[in-house]
Amino acid sequence: MAGLANAATRTQAESPVEEAIEARIAGRGQRVHILTGQICNNNCIFCMEEDRDGRKVTNSRTTDETVRWILGQQEFYEEVCFTSGEPTTNRRLLPWVRMAKEAGARWISMMTNGRALSYEKYTRALLAAGLNRIYISIHGHTKKLHESLTRTPGSFEQTLAGLDTVARFKRYGISLHTSTVVTKRNLPHMAAIYRFLREHGVDQVVFNVMQANGRANTFFDQLFPTYTEIAAVARDFLREAGEREEQVMAFLVDIPLCTTGELPDFNRGYVEDYVHFEPPPEAARGLLTEELLESRRAGDGGELVQIRRADLDDSERRKRPECARCRYDRVCEGVWGNYLRRYGWDEFVPVEGS
């Protein structure tokens, strides 16, 4: 599942204490993911879900009863998000969105490649059912760049048409965000991608640094720039954009904070804290201890297990003793082990201060 930001909620005009990135991360809300997308009609080279057959088995076990139980817990969550694979390929998405609205969820969102949203009738139906926040994945400002990463002919035109369709309904309170996964191919075009998406009505342009697992690990050498390189391009782009805009609505997400000190705090986004529920509980044995597994059983009959974002990160990310003296240690999730095996620790310097 892609990591997306609910990004910045405060403006640069507010006090430094309020807008500090560590304060925003510490105070972030929690989102619940409902696994809906049995398959995906794109074939992204960096996709985290490399085992598509395995994910299809897991996601296809989501039923009306599963969704109803999860929504019964929704008072604990800031947002209900339909995700995993491509949600629009699931014919139950529309009634599930309607169920979320009836359950009183404040934010009902979806992570999507946006292709199905190019059909206005379908988009209208989802919005009428209660969907009010949409995250659209788009990885370039041109057909050549986007489709070199999705490896799906025709996907750029459909995604852009879907994005434009949603933008036409923003006046009804619909929040439109995009997610661009940063790779060696699109990093040089960060400024152009931002301008392109803002011109198409996007509220928040989120640049997600890849997570070094799944296909991103398989094709690591071809795709993954260093964090230092990403931060340098983002710094120059934000400085240039800041000369034209009072507030640049671009956010760099899922990158160690010690590498982004030259970026304005406002533009240093964060991945929302989230949980999801998977069947059967026994499948989580490699991820959770037996004690945790028992404490996380969920569903009416204990047929589900709660998986938290921290569970996934803790098994894959690393810190070293020097990290303990960094001002960001309390909120930092560490560095992907697969990244460290390629690039090492040299670029990660603890940031002094409180």
Exposed, middle or buried: residue 300 (CB in 10 Å: 0-12, 13-18, 19+)? exposed
Q: How high is the mean pLDDT of the chain?
A: 89
Burial pattern 277-297, b for ≥16 Cβ within 10 A else e, equals: bbbebeebeeebeeeebeebe
Report d(CA 267, CA 23) in Å as an integer. 14
Summarised one tens digit per residue, pLDDT across range 51-71 is 666 666 777 788 999 999 999
- Spell out the alpha helix ranges (H) of 84-189: 93-102, 120-129, 143-150, 155-167
The whole model's pTM is what? Answer: 0.91
Regions in the chain scoring below 70 on pLDDT: 1-19, 38, 50-56, 312-315, 354
- Kindly state the helix (H) or strand (E) to which residue 314 belongs, with its residue range: helix 309-314
In this structure, the chain runs to a length of 354
Q: Which residue in the block uniquely carries the two structure tokens 């710094």?
A: 235
Which residue ranges form the domains of the chain, and what is each CATH number?
Answer: 16-340 (3.20.20.70)
Residues 6+ apart with CB under 8 A from 128: none
Summarised one tens digit per residue, pLDDT across range 120-172 is 999 999 999 999 999 999 999 999 999 999 999 999 999 999 999 999 999 99
CB–CB of 151/43 below 8 Å? yes
State how beta strands 107-112 and 133-137 pair.
parallel
Summarised one tens digit per residue, pLDDT across range 103-117 is 999 999 999 999 999
The amino acid at 222: Q
The amino acid at 162: G
Identify which of 183, 214, 212, 207 has the alpha carbon closest to the alpha carbon of residue 193.
207
State how beta strands 317-318 and 335-336 pair.
antiparallel
